[in-house]
Structure formats: structure tokens, C-alpha cells
Structure 1
């Protein structure tokens, strides 16, 4: 039997349901600009109807509706788009870091400019050409010294900037490791809260949004796979577990490096940082070291003109052809001046400007043999970081050797006044072909390339430009991909203010109608209770 007060109950249920819908609409509008928020909806169903025999159909059950009720409040989310977003986001993180690093490398190399290494090197060679015009000129010698110091400063500064960039990347890897640990700890905590709340039958919509937002952030840092279980998210980086339910595995810079070597870490910002540091920065540091060392001690073939006097005790490496191929034959020059004077032009291989400079003489009395022009600040290896003008020359430019001819007899030989043979040979090193050890190939075999110093440096700049252009294009394309997927996610999960305003009006009218229905039924009951049952009233 239907209750007399059924109408009141139906209107009450309608009021509660429409009120919940209005509240949820307000919640959506309030979070329209909240990062990671997913639109929520109230799921309404008709209440279980009342069953009773019909008055016109004896003993046949009938049903009368009992209004509406809401079973749950759920968020609108599509897992496929979440997985797609995270899969593309990791590549965007990787490319963006590499692109940023290559942009910084271009700023460090700073070519082509008037202040870059190439420009400073050109000025250095030109000062030798100018000195050859007047080899005894003190101003010309000082200019060579100053340009040599400027070249050393350019190498030192560039090397330090590369070293600083490498250290910055290492520090950022540590920062990212801490960020990963913070994110995974928070995700595991949310797993626990969501498990507890949903175990009571509720939907932890807002907590799920927070967890998904943190997971999205994590997907940009490292490559991850996400599986949802009743205990929450299980997140793995390759075969390395990061989160399982309410437990986490902390990472460090060392464990991330190990994961990269094993293949577990293969994308994301951390991967981009390791690649940038160990491949790009290290490669350009090695090439810069090769250039600096080649200027000082690189193998180069020159031709010494006839009439030149080789310093006593010098050993020249003369290229000769043998049945097994070309080889270098050492030839020692010693004894009186006549025996050390070349009767004809002689082609030899020397070790850079140092090897050539030590074949010449200063204009001191007696003539002094040239010294190493460039030396290492520390140790014996000349690198971009240790490259310096020999302190002996830096303190006294008269130690710059320009002559290859002497007169007199040992030990009182003197350089021929005005002879510029050595200065000309050194200035010609600019266009001479050096042999560069350009690291090694995949098998560890040294890669030797021949070319001028300018060719080698231009190859460095050209390689950097191509790499920067490639990563810039990859970053732009990947960002467009991520943005496109995010737009699709927002079209599904995002809050549309127009739609919410429409819903608000709809629910408002439904609430008003339910209120009117309750008022009407109240009047019916009032009539029934207060105006019936009294005869004659």
C-alpha cells in the first residue's frame, strides 16, 4: 500500500539529488583552472518503484515510481589518453633537456663572432705574418705574445664553461633524483588514502586527480609504466620498481646511471641530462682539447728551405716511402754549422708550433734555441684547460724565435739579422694540414682525420649547429604531440564553463520544481488532515 506521505518523500529525494548536482557543478566551476582537475558528474537513477496490486487488475502487481536518487559522484577520465600522454611526455622531457644543453653549447662556442676562438686564432696567425715582415721589431714580438695569451685565455675560458655545464648537469641529476623520490612518496601516500576512502564505498575523485597529476609530472622526468591495482598505482621504470601500493623505492644519481646502463632508463629529463653530459658536453670538451693540443703539439708536415741551420742535437722526422708504406725516419743533426746547414729543401714532420719553434733561434747573443711556445699549466698534457703561453716567453718576448739561420761557430753562433724564415713557417701553419686524433670509433680504434686547424674548428661548429637544429625540431614536434594529446584529454576531462552554466540552470529549475512539488503536496496533506473528518464544518 502506498503511503499517504509518498509525495513528500519523492520531493525530498529530488531536492537532495538536484542539490548534489548543483554542488558538484559549483565544484567543477571552482576548479575550472585547477591543474590536473577532472570534471565530475552526479550519477542519477530512478529509485526502486513501489510494487502493489492494481485496483483495476486484481491480484496483478503494479509499480509506482519513488522518485530519484544519486548513486555516486564520478570523474570523467580516459585511461588511454593518460597512457598516451605519459608515453609522449617522457620523450618531450628528453628532447627539451638536450635542446637546452645544445643551446648553451652554442652560446659557449660563440661562433661565428669577433670574440670566439676562431677569430682569436686568426689574429694570432696574423701577428706572426706581421712579425715576419720585421722579425727584430719589439712591438711585433709583444703583439705575438699578447695574441698568444688571448688564445690561451679563450681556450681556458671555453673549457671552464664546458666543465661548469657538465657539473650543472650532474647537480641537476641529483635534484631530479630527489624530485623523483618526493613524487613517488606522495603517490604512495595517496595510494593509501584512496584505498582507505574507497574501501568505505566512496569515490576519492579529487585525490585521484592529485595522484594522476603527480604521475604526469613523474612521466616527464623518467620513463614509467603505470598499472592500477586495488592497492593503488604500481609504477615501474623499465624493470626498476618505483612505487608498489603504499611502498616506494628511493633512487639516487648512481642508481639512475645504473638504470640507464641496463636500459631501464631510456627517456625523460634524467636520460636527457646524462646524454647531454656524457655525449654532447664531453664530446665537445674532447674536440676542444684536441684542437688546443694540435696547435701546440699536433703532427704537421712542413718544408724547411735550403740554407737553414738546424740546432745542434736536433732530431728531425723525415717521411720516407717503404715497401710496407710511408714511415718516419729520424735524422739527427749535430756538429759544426756547416754540417747542420741544409743543402736543399727538406720536408719533415714536426709536433705543432712547439716542434717548429724549437728549430729556430732567438736574436740573443749568442743565439738561443727556441723553446716550447705553448705549455701545460699543470702536468704534461696540453688541453684546453691547461693551455698557456710558455712563461719564459710571457716574461720576455725576446725568447720568441724567428730565424732559421746563424753565423759564426758554436758556442758563439748568432742569428742572421733580419732572417724571418721561422716566422714565415709558423704563420703558414694556419693553412697546413694537421693529423687530428678525433677520439675513437665503436671498436675503440682511434679516428684520425687530416685538415687545417680552421677546417677542424669549422667541423666542430658545423656539427654543433646540425645537432642543435635537429634537437630543436624534435623538441618542437614532440611538444606539438604532447599539446595535442593534452587538448584531447581536456576535451574529455576538462571543465567547460558554458556546459556547467547550462547544467546549473537545468539543476536549478529541477530543484525549484521539486520544491514546488513539495509545497503542493504539503497543501494536499493540509487539506486532508485539517479539512476532512468534521461533519458540517
Structure 2
């Protein structure tokens, strides 16, 4: 009889301990209801091993499994990681292109379109009054304004490239920090789980770090049987393996920073071209392809204006009756260095408005010819104005494409995050139901202790 009573006490004891553990886990779920990346946990209950008693089997109560289950969908987490990488690419590209778009704003009245229009109109005004000082001075002023706009556009676009370059070096530093932290978490997880315990907190933290890493650079990852997460670049360069991490670095190449992977032996491999998603890809793509394309088109427009105007101006006649040199100075003209001839800027009489052999003053054939360049098909069968307007449209289209893709990826990421919350998130309603259930079980186990104590006291009194 005493053995049965002591068996009941043991059943009550294990029940109290088990329900207490379940209450602790439920309380932890409730406390982390708003914690980013937290995965809901659950205690799994199982019957204790029964014992044989007087030719029969006697149950011995309940126990909680040592490992607390983490409610987690590995496939869903992989989708979230991939979506974060795609979103990072388009967000970084959009951030860069929006800066460039501001420079092509033609609504303020200070854009290149207005500068070009004033430049061509000045030549037309000069043709109407080829000897007028006011018209010549206005032409000089509008030309200087045009060159300033070209110079400024080119410089500011180059600054956008430089900003992207700085972002790339900063991202590489962040990547190195994250890979070191993930390697450290690998060791913590393996150490805890080797003892048969749950490392759910460390696993949640590691998943968040992996998402942050994926937003910066596209990676592949897999977990081995010991719980270690291995991470590689898409080209197979190892970033994390068990408790070790490999760093990335940057080196200047053509004025900008390329990304290199550093091996254990210290050798470096340029992986810039292999990066396909993540913020690094967005910044690299904008810096090395998109922005240089804008600058190249600006350079072509500037060089075409310089060549066309200079060809006509050198054959014209100034107010001194002579043939003048180039109206714009320099060879290998780019938008960054286009400039008016300083001699002409200092002496408006050197502007060759008259054609060769025309009477001076009064000749205006050359001014008319230069003014007519505005409507001439000088670049691939298009006018200069058309080519510039096409460039502005291209910038707008690139920004729109980045916006659409960023919005789409944001929606995808939000949907996946919502689905993750449905799978792994904490429901306060469910947790409150569990809390009442486990509390009731705990109270019942406590009453079993009291009842067993009374039975034991009665037995002792009988003795």
C-alpha cells in the first residue's frame, strides 16, 4: 500500500514539474509576442515509463521532453531569405536612381533643356542683329550657363557613383560583421544542443542574421546534422563554416571599389561580377552600368554641340573681319569639361556671326547656320534636343522600373512575413488558453499531492 502511495507522490511530483515547464514556455511565448524573428515554442508531453506491479503495469505519470520544440518552417525561411536578397537589390538601386533623377528635373526652369533652348535662341537673336553688343553679351552669358549645367550634371552624377561606392565598402564591413556573428552563434547552438537542450533563442537570432546578410549579398546556406549553418556565395566561396568565417574586402579598380573574397591562405578572388542580388548588386549595377550610361549620353551631346558649333564658327567672320578659332575650347570634350573659348568670352567682337565673304558689319549667315543646328539631325538621325529628352525619359523609366520591382518585392516579403507569423508567430489567444490549461493541470497536481499526503497520514495513523 505504501508503495502505491509513494508512486502517487512521484506522479504528482513529475506532473508539477512538467506543468511548471509548460507554464514557463507559455509565459516566454507571451513575453516575446512582439519580438522580431521570435519563433513560438512548445513543450511536448509524454507518458513516463510504466512499472510492473503485482503482475500488472502501473502508469507513472507525465514528463516533458527535454528539448523544447521550435515551431519553424525551414522552407519558408529559405523563401524569406531569397526575397530579402531581391528586395535589397531593388531598394539599393532605387535609392541611387532617385538621386540621379533629381538632377534631370526640368520643372524648375534651370535644367539642361532650358539651357539649350536659351543657347540656340541667343544665336537666332544674334542673327537678327549680328552687330548688337547686347545680343553678343547675352550669347556669351547663355553659353556659360549651358556649359555650367553640363559640368554640374556630370559632376553630380559622378558624386552619385561615389556615394554608391561608399555604400559598397560599408556593406562589405557589415557582411564581415554578420558572418562573424553567425559563426559565433553556430558554436553556441552546437554546444547547447550537444547536451540535449534547446538552442531556440540562438537559432532565432541566427536566422535574423542570415536575413540581414541576404539583404546585402546573395548567398547559399544549409545546416548540417550537428546544427552548424554553412554559408557560401553563389559562386561557392565559403563565408561561414561551423565556427569559422571568411572575410570580404575591397580594392580600387578603375577608380571604384571591387569586392574580393579572401581565402585562408590570404589569396583574393574578385567576386564583383558574380554578385547577382542583394544591396551590393543594386549599388554595383547603378555605379558601373546605369549611371555611366547617363554620363556617356551627356558626353555625346556635349561633344556633338562642340564639334558642330566649332566647325561652323571657324569658317565664319567676326566683327574684325577675320576668321575665328573654335567657339568652345578643348579636345576630347566631355560634359564635365565643356567650356567657351575664354578669348571670345572676353571680347564679344570675336563671335563669328557673319559667313565667309559677307559684309562686315551686317553679315549673319553663320549665326543663322549655328541657330539651325537645333533642328539638325546630328546624333543617330535625331536632334540634340530629342537625344536629351530621350535621356531624361530613360532616367524616368529606370526609376519607374526600380520602383515597380521594389514594390513587388516588398509585397512578396510582406506576404512571406505574414505567413511566417501564421506558422511561427505567437497568438495571444492560443497562449492564454494554454496558460489556463497548464495552470489547471498544475493545480490538479498540487491537489494530488495534498490527497496523497492525507492518505499517507491515514496509513501512518493506522500503524
* TM-score, normalised via structure 1 length: 0.80
Mapping for residues 60-459 of structure 1, pairs under 5 Å: 61-71=55-65, 72-111=67-106, 113-229=108-224, 230=226, 232-238=228-234, 239-253=236-250, 254-255=259-260, 258-261=270-273, 263=274, 265-297=275-307, 352-364=308-320, 367-376=321-330, 380-406=331-357, 415-435=359-379, 449-459=380-390
* TM-score, normalised via structure 2 length: 0.92
Q: What's the C-alpha RMSD, in Å, of the aligned pairs?
A: 1.7
State the Cα distance separating 1:401 from its structure 2 match.
1.6
2:163 and 2:118 map into 1 onto residues whose CA distance is: 33
Gaps of 5+ in 2: 251-258, 262-268
1:521 and 1:184 map into 2 onto residues whose CA distance is: 56
Pair 1:38 & 2:39 matched: yes
* Structure 1 SS opposite 2:462: coil
* Structure 1 SS opposite 2:260: helix
1:46 and 1:397 map into 2 onto residues whose CA distance is: 103
1:143 and 1:503 map into 2 onto residues whose CA distance is: 83
User: Which has more strand, going by share of residues?
Assistant: 1
Name which of structure 1's ranges 169-178 and 81-90 shifts more when overlaid on structure 2. Answer: 81-90
1:405 and 1:278 map into 2 onto residues whose CA distance is: 46
1:219 and 1:51 map into 2 onto residues whose CA distance is: 56
* Structure 1 SS opposite 2:417: helix
Larger Rg: 1
Maintained 8 Å contact 2:5/2:455: no
State the Cα distance separating 1:99 from its structure 2 match.
2.2
* Structure 1 SS opposite 2:68: strand
1:161 and 1:98 map into 2 onto residues whose CA distance is: 17
- Name the counterpart of 1:25: 26
**1:410-448 deviation line (CA, Å, top 9, x unaligned):** xxxxx522221111111111101113xxxxxxxxxxxxx
Maintained 8 Å contact 1:116/1:154: yes
Maintained 8 Å contact 2:73/2:423: yes
* Structure 2 SS opposite 1:153: helix
- Name the counterpart of 2:462: 532
State the Cα distance separating 1:3 from its structure 2 match.
4.0
Pair 1:516 & 2:447 matched: yes
* Structure 1 SS opposite 2:43: strand
Maintained 8 Å contact 1:227/1:234: yes
2:293 and 2:436 map into 1 onto residues whose CA distance is: 64
- Name the counterpart of 2:52: 51
- Name the counterpart of 1:7: 8
* Structure 1 SS opposite 2:69: strand
2:30 and 2:199 map into 1 onto residues whose CA distance is: 19
1:184 and 1:37 map into 2 onto residues whose CA distance is: 20
User: Which has more helix, going by share of residues?
Assistant: 2
Maintained 8 Å contact 1:405/1:416: no
Maintained 8 Å contact 2:315/2:356: no
**1:65-109 deviation line (CA, Å, top 9, x unaligned):** 211111121211111101111122211111222222222221122
**1:29-80 deviation line (CA, Å, top 9, x unaligned):** 1111111111111111111122223xxxxxxx32222111111212111111
* Structure 1 SS opposite 2:138: helix
In the TM superposition, structure 1's runs of 4+ consecutive aligned residues that sit over 3 Å from their partners are none
